[in-house]
A and B are shown apart, each in its own frame.
Chain A
Amino acid sequence: DTGVSQNPRHKITKRGQNVTFRCDPISEHNRLYWYRQTLGQGPEFLTYFQNEAQLEKSRLLSDRFSAERPKGSFSTLEIQRTEQGDSAMYLCASSGTGNSPLHFGNGTRLTVT
């Protein structure tokens, strides 16, 4: 069990640019989640995949955000035309079925200048 891996750890971008983050979940986990966390707040749910199917999307996920999980393995989160309000820590988590707990990566910290 190598844990959930997220890359890059940090990303600084200029407003208006597109960014893409990658998440590699624990290999046997079929559920994958993306969360966003800003300073002093708890993680906010963005989206959820079961295998390759995106089953839940938060209203927080505007049309500038898109997530994919091809072949039910790694996942990518893309933000188009970034805005300063997108600056946050983006966390990925994976879990098994049933009431299995979430296993989080250490996140990608995005700074939009």
Chain B
Amino acid sequence: KAGVTQTPRYLIKTRGQQVTLSCSPISGHRSVSWYQQTPGQGLQFLFEYFSETQRNKGNFPGRFSGRQFSNSRSEMNVSTLELGDSALYLCASSSGAKETQYFGPGTRLLVL
């Protein structure tokens, strides 16, 4: 079974721009969660989607948003990028029954 895939793998943007990242979960998984990883703050939860509905949200500003489609694929959007948004953005999927989350390879975002 194929793992979680994320696109693009690398991205360079400038301050003030917006960016959209994509995540395809493991086949059959309906829950998709997003995390931000930085050297200073470590791994932090952004939000979780299940059946196209946001089920949980972390402590991030409204510039961070997401959505999930009917095929469980998910996107996250960051508007008005700031230098501090430079990070590895990780997507994880899990099945409805099990809580274990399986992570994708991440998207490395650099904001200049």
Query: Does B associate with A?
Result: no
Q: What is B's interface to A at a CB cutoff of 8 Å?
A: none
